[in-house]
Amino acid sequence: MRQSRWTPSIVPSIGDQNVYLVLDCFERSGCAWREADAGKTDLETVIRDLMSGQYNDPQRVIAFNTFEHWADDVSEGVARSGDAPTQPTKISHHPSRTSWCDTPAETNSTI
């Protein structure tokens, strides 16, 4: 009997598509990348959800495309988007968080 060497892929074939995810913060739970239906991760849906208040405290919008092998923080572009002329989007750097590059390097004076 002939044995096939083909095995099915566990990676879904969604093709060349940009995906947008929102980092949302919650008072007591911290921050999390919000769960999203695969068909609702396009830019227009994310902007519509942001404008309609679907997020608690959005911090960042990340776009990626696994087919093209890229990812980018698109928060500023989404916040300035002309698709949302009636209200400003609520995306900003959370004041209680500092980046590793904002923190001065520690020195060891005991050496």
Q: How far is CA 71 from CA 22, 63, 89, 111, in A?
A: 13, 6, 21, 42
* Amino acid (1-letter code) at residue 11: V
In a domain, 47, yes or no: yes
Residue range(s) defining the domain that contains residue 25:
19-86
In a domain, 101, yes or no: no
What φ, ψ does residue 39 adopt, rounded to 5°?
-80, -5
Q: Which two tokens stand for residue 52?
A: 């309609």
Cα distance between residue 91 and residue 26, in whole Å = 14
pLDDT tens-digit profile, the chain (111 residues): 567 787 766 665 666 789 999 999 998 999 999 999 888 999 999 999 999 999 999 999 999 998 888 999 999 999 888 444 444 334 444 444 333 223 343 333 333
Q: How many domains does the chain have?
A: 1
